Amino acid sequence: MRRLFTLIAVALALAAAARPAAKGRLLVLASDKASVRSTPCTVSIYMTKAKASSQGMDICDSLIFVVADGGTCTVYDYRSATGKALATFDLGSKRVGNHSNCANFGLETAPGASFPALYVSVGKPGDQDEWNVHVESITRQDSTFKSRLIQTICMDQSQYAAHGLQPIWGCPNWVIDKERKALWAFSAIKRTTVAGTGEMSTNRYIATKFRLPALSEGDTVKLTHADVLDQVSFPFDTYVTQGGTMRDGKIWYAYGFGKTGTLTPSRVRVYDTDSHQITARYELESIINEELEDISIYDGHILLNTNSSKIYELTDTFKKTSDK
């Protein structure tokens, strides 16, 4: 089902500003000043899923993996886009508190696995695993899929402030820069709901860079202030973080609860961690009324998962990549 709509994507060129931090570290701040240009793009309904409620999503080998609250995963065929589920299976990290907020395939494939490891952010405020990303090894035999938990990565920010780093409020969503073999945690200084933030000027989005731990590092990996490779602060101009993905230094991130005429419409932002700029703003309020959940980029196609039966496709001048 492909109903085509036209919208304007607002791309922002921002002048970067830097602020030195304590003990030799640097927290880079993106400037709030912007010169605006418009870029035409289109949004269409790519697929109507068999299951409506879902959270994180990524694509591998022409299969769409959609994870749901609690730790289940449903697989769809990207090529047919019929919306018929090929299989549903439990993640190794399945439990009530696992919101499965964001999903990214990594680079390494565990022995015996059929796909690269899948990194699933917990994303549940107040949960015992709130700061964690679970690494899943998925195998396939014909129409049967199975997954096991092979690694848990946790952020420990207890010494951030003492070392000139910006702490976040919680619930990091973890995205993987495959081209640069890096792991980034994305969140904000304060909770990103309207009630949690208040005036937008009182909050900022924070992206923190780490190495991508090898699977051979063991079942549990704790990342502390000593593991931080970079940290960038971006202007807070939209409420409610959802999920995201990353390509070659740029974080693509979804926001909002959907619906029109609210403070939390569906939006997408693109953050350049090299230039410390917001390079694109997609205002989707008039087109996507559902709650956005996650973004996946596959072979140059940008797919937006929603907490409904629909997956949307965003089309613009994004350069095609080889993620097959």
- Provide the residue-wise pLDDT of the chain in tens; the chain has 324 residues: 444 433 333 332 222 233 222 222 333 333 344 333 334 457 888 888 887 779 999 999 999 999 999 999 999 999 987 888 999 999 999 999 999 999 999 999 999 999 999 999 999 999 999 999 999 999 999 999 999 999 999 999 999 999 999 999 999 999 999 999 999 999 999 999 999 999 999 999 999 999 999 999 999 999 999 999 999 999 999 999 999 999 999 999 999 999 889 999 999 999 999 999 999 899 888 889 899 999 999 988 899 999 999 999 987 644 443 344
d(CA 231, CA 210): 9
Q: Does 220 fall in a domain?
A: yes
Tens digits of per-residue pLDDT, 22-58? 222 333 333 344 333 334 457 888 888 887 779 999 9
d(CA 320, CA 306): 23
User: Which tokens is 243 given?
Assistant: 């999920």
d(CA 200, CA 263): 11
Check if the beta carbon of residue 96 is closer than 8 Å to that of residue 70.
yes
Q: Does 284 fall in a domain?
A: yes
Tell me which residue has tokens 């927290």.
Answer: 27
Q: Does 322 fall in a domain?
A: no
d(CA 130, CA 128): 6
Among 276, 280, 287, 292, residue whose Cα is nearest residue 317: 280
Q: Does 67 fall in a domain?
A: yes
d(CA 131, CA 15): 32
As beta bridge partners, residue 33 has none
CATH of the domain at 60: 2.120.10
As beta bridge partners, residue 147 has 138
Sign of the Cα torsion 144, 150, 156, 160 reads: negative
In whole angstroms, what separates CA 63 from the centre of its chain?
A: 18
pTM of the predicted model, to two decimals? 0.87
Tell me what pLDDT residue 300 has.
Answer: 85
224, HSE (Cβ side, Cα atoms, 13 Å):
5
Q: Does 323 fall in a domain?
A: no
Residue 246 structural domain? 4-315
167: helix, coil or strand? coil
d(CA 33, CA 268): 19
d(CA 231, CA 208): 4
Check if the beta carbon of residue 280 is closer than 8 Å to that of residue 234.
no
DSSP assignment of 232-260, as one string? EEEE--S--EEEEEEETTEEEEEE----S
Tell me what pLDDT residue 41 has.
Answer: 57
Tell me which residue has tokens 């029109």.
Answer: 260
Amino acid letter, 318: F
Q: Does 152 fall in a domain?
A: yes
Check if the beta carbon of residue 169 is closer than 8 Å to that of residue 178.
no
Check if the beta carbon of residue 190 is closer than 8 Å to that of residue 203.
yes
d(CA 166, CA 164): 7
The domain total for the chain is: 1
Give residue 84's region: left, alpha or beta (phi > 0; psi -120 to 50): beta
Q: Does 324 fall in a domain?
A: no
Q: Does 320 fall in a domain?
A: no
